[in-house]
Amino acid sequence: MSVVEIHGARRPSLPLARMTGATLVVLVVLFALAGPLLVPGDPFAQSLMKALAGPEAAAPLGYDHLGRSVFHRLAHALRLSPLIALAAVATAGAAGLLLGTLAAAQGGWADRILTMLADALLALPGLLLVLIVLAILPGTALGFWAGLSLVLWVEFFRLTRAATRETLASPAVQASRLLGFGPAYLFRTHVWPEIAPMMLTAAAFGTATAIMAIAALGFVHVGMRAPTPELGLMMVELLPYWREAPLALLSPVLATFALLLGLTLLAGSRET
Amino acid sequence: MTLLKAEDISVRDGGTVILEPLSLQLDPGEPLVILGETGSGKSLMAQALMGTLPPELDAKGRIAIGTQVLNAGAPARFRGLWGREIGVLPQEPWLSLDPLMRARDQVAETHALVRGLPRGKARARAGADLAALGLGGSETRYPHELSGGMAQRVAIAAARAGGARIVIADEPTKGLDAARRDDVAALLLTEMGETGGLLVITHDLALARRLGGRAIVLRAGAVVECGATDQVFAAPKAPYTKEFFAADPERWAPRRHAARGGPAVVSAKGLALSRGGRTLFEDVSLEIFQGGVFGVTGPSGCGKSSLGDALLGLIDPARGTVSRRSGNHPNDFQKLYQDPVAAFPRKRTLGQTIADTARLCGARPGEIETLRDRLGLAPGLLARRPGAVSGGELQRLSLLRVLLRNPSFIFADEPTSRLDPITQARVIALLTETTERDGTALLLVSHDAALIRNTADTVLALAAPRPPCRPDAALARRRVASTLH
Amino acid sequence: MSALASRLVQAIMVALLIGAATFAMMRSLPGDAAWRIAAGRYGYDNVDAAAADAVRAELGLGGPALPALLQWLGDLARLDFGTSLVTGRPVAAEIAHQLGASASLALVAVLLSLLIGPPLGILAGLRPGGPLDRGLLVASTGLKAVPQFLMALVLIVALAVQLRWLPAAGHGTARHFILPGLTLALGLAAVNARIARDAMARIAAMPFWRFAQWKGLSERQTLIRHGLRNVSVPLITYLGLQFVTLVEGVIIVESIFGWPGIGHALVHAIFSRDVPMVQGTALVLGLGFVVVNAAIDLAVRHLDPRVAA
């Protein structure tokens, strides 16, 4: 009982944290979607005359080393990787949910093979898998989507499988079965209410992981290719000019941090 | 000389008094028993004496121990008494031992750190303490390798190694089989001896009677009755005490036997069950009849719950056959659970779950309300979730749910083991009434032999596995089924 | 025993997965891959059609897929990792050369993280809801939202560029360990601290913790005798799972700081489509996880007698 109380004592801060997280995410998304509408501009247009110049009306965050508007590149970058991340999380979530429920409900060989596969994937660093898939598939965005889906489904699968197994073995499900309820009812009233909150948490974490991966690989020049505006790529391009144009570097750094922090807070506390 | 004297101890939670002023004293060689149900305030009293009340609660009163006088409202000062003056025998001794430390080390550290003995001497003393309690040879075992009773003896040795003369035991029989109660009482009395003090907090009437000494009966934070334990038991004065004692299964009036009618609803022949490669019992044959109560009892781990599951077809027997009479519909075999909270969908209101069941079973309109009134359940309960309803009410709601199925057989698996005695008596009475009225066959499983003896028409007593389970003649003295071997 | 057996199965599955993935990578190399590989191996001046054909035949770049896959996995099973397409040296030798640099960096990072995270976590867990606990929650949540590359960037800008205290890149002296080591350690510590905190809070709420104090032990004695060992079990278990995070960090951090380790080599190999090197490094990283976790299984078994039972 006292363990529950300890966690209970921490609960009140959680909705606040989640609200803060949601606010941060909404702000970043709003900037990405509405920013270019308020201040029209082209993320690719170069003007070497303005290289590393400070902010002005047409480029509220100044210019990068090639004289491109950091504001518009950032807005573009903040649409690109979150979109890929969401697509990957949706795919991975659907696959993980389906396979996890299947493994838990069926048991036997289907369960054993899926678990073995998931365990093997768990041993591999996600970035490594993404890199290999990127090398196989044509098109970087497609590669990221496929690679990240491959990495992320494991978490959804493991959570779903564990929760479904536990729920299906519970007296509550046994009682419902004895009363004659069918599988659809069992899933709807017993399994889904247990999984749903976990799915939200895992989806927020998964989105953060995916955005981090895209940016990290961009940062070490093996992700998105120039001149695509991408968060990691922008940072590594602007790093040498830190002294001349600190704002140009700080903008993608702070935006990335705000987005990732928002997603982490939105995910809520969990032991990972 | 009095060992401990507490005067006008009271506990408040904000503005509400949750323990009315209470005075007590502990004398050498005379146990003091605080008796009461859950919520009676008996644990609060113990916590106030030890200085372990949660910080949000306020205690008042004076406590004199030896030469010291302490204020119950300043719990920090009690800390120095722990182990040195007061030894606490905790609930669930198994969980109170460090799972990663050997038995002797857990006793030796008290000798070394509290009494200040050198290491080697502390270990030797700890070994001697354990040997004196009959634990010679188990010194190097880890807690998970000890039985519940052994863990309790290790705990009492560890609790007293610091030199404490007073022992406070909080529900020392919780989670223990009935057969172990007498051992616990004997252990506590021996440890107290002629010169020690013993305060026991319990709801276990058998334990209280065995301990003797003096008793205080608490209810809702107030003293109902106090006096010499023998006197209180022989002639309870307060109406609540009478009701409380009458709820003890030992004192129940044996139920009138139902007339056996018709073919068996369920029967088993030469049944053997095993779990994890270990045989639980072998060669059990039985028949359960319409309108009859078939009771199964035995120590934990003997397979009594598994027997019920096998009769329901939830687990497969290792050997033997189970035959169920084909009933009105495929789902007319139902089960009631030990922990009713776990038997309902957690995040749905009880009303929704019950309405789902009624729809599934094609219940007549108004049937839920009829059953609800019959089982004495308030209508408002249905709007709540399973976690927000008391255990007794929830078990009755479980009964309501299975009755919607119009069952021909109900397996009640320890349905009252988590309920207070008075609630237990009510739930069992409702169960037997239902059996007789609806002509259901009831399989009642309980660790409480007295409960089974006074409730069932037929008793099967299972022994702990290995030696293989045989029906125990002494326990099954009431008209044991002729079909038992 | 069954725990070790399942680790063995995991190792085999890891090897199969990597073998299949790198085979697919090989097959998807663009059409002139053989020519490029031959050029990488022998120098552009020495490449002719015959050399390219030899490479094509050797790597099974043409022909049906299934026999080629089986041959590929067969080579893997014989622990024949082939030669680097770029340097022409055996992959095993290349990796043996780089492994030490990565392992020493990883070790420094883990030790550093253990010095920072668990002590803070344990102190916070002893007073759940207290100021330290709340501060640590904020700090670790913030740190968890900082990816390693961002941490590296911040540390480089602050400590190397602005303050000029430390070298931003390079390898060789102890000073070179500080920035990459700290980058990795801070991320690990953010998680370590939470694990230790939750474990400590859980243990401090357990009956045996209270009972130890009832026996007369002081809070410090209780922590030393009953807290640390019990906290270490989940902490060590979690350390094994963190290995993946560590490896991902090593890949990124080595690339950023120009650390001559296996992660750096992997990124290079991917970039230049040096498939045998990709396979070799990926195998070392994947199997490293399995080996480390098998060792941790054994350690936990030793610490916690209940697991062995």
pLDDT in tens, B325-378: 876 677 889 999 999 999 999 889 999 999 999 999 888 888 999 999 988 898
**CB B90 to CB C214 under 8 A?**
yes
Burial of B415 (0-12, 13-18, 19+ CB in 10 A): buried
Please report the pLDDT score of residue A10 as a whole number: 43
> Burial letters for C249-279: b for 16+ Cβ neighbours within 10 Å, e otherwise?
bbbbbbbbbebebbbbbbbbbbebbbbbbbb
Please report the pLDDT score of residue B379 as a whole number: 87
pLDDT in tens, B168-190: 998 888 767 666 778 888 888 98
CA torsion B170-B175-B176-B181 (nearest 10°) is: 40
Higher pLDDT, C291 or B463: C291
Q: Which of B83, B96, B161 sits opposite C207 (nearest CB)?
A: B96
Q: How confident is the model at residue A269 (pLDDT cuts 50, 70, 90)?
A: low
From chain B, the residues in CB contact with C229 under 8 A are 100-101
* Chain C nearest CA to A82, separation (Å): 15
User: Searching chain A, which residue's CA lies closest to the CA of residue B338?
Assistant: A171
Percent of chain B with pLDDT over 90: 41
**Single-letter residue type at B377:** L
Touching B: which chains, 3+ CB pairs < 8 A?
A, C
CB atoms within 10 A of CB B97: 28
* Chain B nearest CA to C97, separation (Å): 42
From chain B, the residues in CB contact with C309 under 8 A are 144-145
Q: Which of A176, A185, A187 to substitute to test the interface with B, most B CBs within 10 Å?
A: A176
Task: Note whether A141 and A214 are within 8 A (CB).
Answer: no
Question: What is the rounded average pLDDT for all residues in chain C?
Answer: 86
Res B217 pLDDT > 90: yes
From chain C, the residues in CB contact with B151 under 8 A are none
Laid out side by side, the sheet with B166-170 consists of B86-89, B166-170, B197-202, B32-35, B214-219, B222-228
Q: DSSP assignment of C106-125, as one string?
A: HHHHHHHHHHHHHHHHHHHH
Task: Note whether B179 and B302 are within 8 A (CB).
Answer: no
Please report the pLDDT score of residue B356 as a whole number: 94
Q: How confident is the model at residue B253 (pLDDT cuts 50, 70, 90)?
A: confident
- C191-207: average pLDDT: 93
Quick check: helix, strand or coil at residue B8? strand
Question: What is the rounded average pLDDT for all residues in chain A?
Answer: 88
Task: Note whether B143 and B103 are within 8 A (CB).
Answer: yes
Is residue C302 less than 8 Å (CB to CB) from chain B?
Answer: no
User: Searching chain B, which residue's CA lies closest to the CA of residue C223?
Assistant: B98
Res B475 pLDDT > 70: no
How far separated are the first and last CA of chain C, in Å rounded? 11
Q: Choose among B65, B167, B69, B154: nearest CA to B105.
A: B154
Chain B and chain C share a number of CB contacts under 8 A equal to: 81
Task: Note whether B353 and B340 are within 8 A (CB).
Answer: no
Q: Which residue has the tokens 């007319």?
A: B332
Q: Which of C22, C85, C149 to substitute to test the interface with A, most A CBs within 10 Å?
A: C149
- Say how far apart CA B318 and CA B269 lie, in whole Å: 12
User: Searching chain A, which residue's CA lies closest to the CA of residue C239?
Assistant: A272
**CB C230 to CB B98 under 8 A?**
yes
Is residue B344 less than 8 Å (CB to CB) from chain A?
Answer: yes
Domains and CATH numbers, chain A: 3-41+57-268 (1.10.3720.10)
How far separated are the first and last CA of chain A, in Å rounded? 23
Q: How confident is the model at residue C62 (pLDDT cuts 50, 70, 90)?
A: low
Res C307 pLDDT > 50: yes
CB atoms within 10 A of CB A127: 27
Q: What is the 3-state secondary structure (H, E, C) of C42-81?
A: HCHHHCCHHHHHHHHHHHCCCCCHHHHHHHHHHHHHCCCC
* Chain A nearest CA to C263, separation (Å): 9
Which 175-204 residues of chain A touch chain C by CB within 8 A? none
Q: Which of B47, B109, B170, B174 to substitute to test the interface with C, most C CBs within 10 Å?
A: B109
From chain C, the residues in CB contact with A14 under 8 A are none
Task: Note whether C282 and A128 are within 8 A (CB).
Answer: yes
- Say how far apart CA C300 and CA C308 lie, in whole Å: 9
Domains and CATH numbers, chain C: 2-91 (no CATH), 94-307 (1.10.3720.10)
Q: Which residue has the tokens 């090897």?
A: C15
Res B473 pLDDT > 80: no
Please report the pLDDT score of residue B138 as a whole number: 87
- Say how far apart CA B153 and CA B180 lie, in whole Å: 12
From chain C, the residues in CB contact with A264 under 8 A are 141, 144-145
Least confident of B143-157, B303-317, C81-95: C81-95
- Name the packing angle between helices A246-267 and A231-238 (round to 10°): 150
Helix (H) or strand (E) holding B268: strand B261-275
- C150-169: average pLDDT: 84
Interface confidence (ipTM) of the complex:
0.84
From chain B, the residues in CB contact with A174 under 8 A are 314, 335, 343
From chain C, the residues in CB contact with B84 under 8 A are 216
Please report the pLDDT score of residue C1 as a whole number: 52
- C156-184: average pLDDT: 83
**Beta-carbon contacts of residue B383 (< 8 Å; ≥ 6 apart):** B349, B350, B351
Is residue B289 less than 8 Å (CB to CB) from chain A?
Answer: no
From chain C, the residues in CB contact with B117 under 8 A are none
Q: What is the DSSP letter of C227?
A: I
Q: How confident is the model at residue C60 (pLDDT cuts 50, 70, 90)?
A: low
Q: How confident is the model at residue B191 (pLDDT cuts 50, 70, 90)?
A: confident
Q: DSSP assignment of B330-368, as one string?
A: TT-EEEE-SSGGGGS-TTS-HHHHHHHHHHHHTPPTTHH
**CB C18 to CB A3 under 8 A?**
no
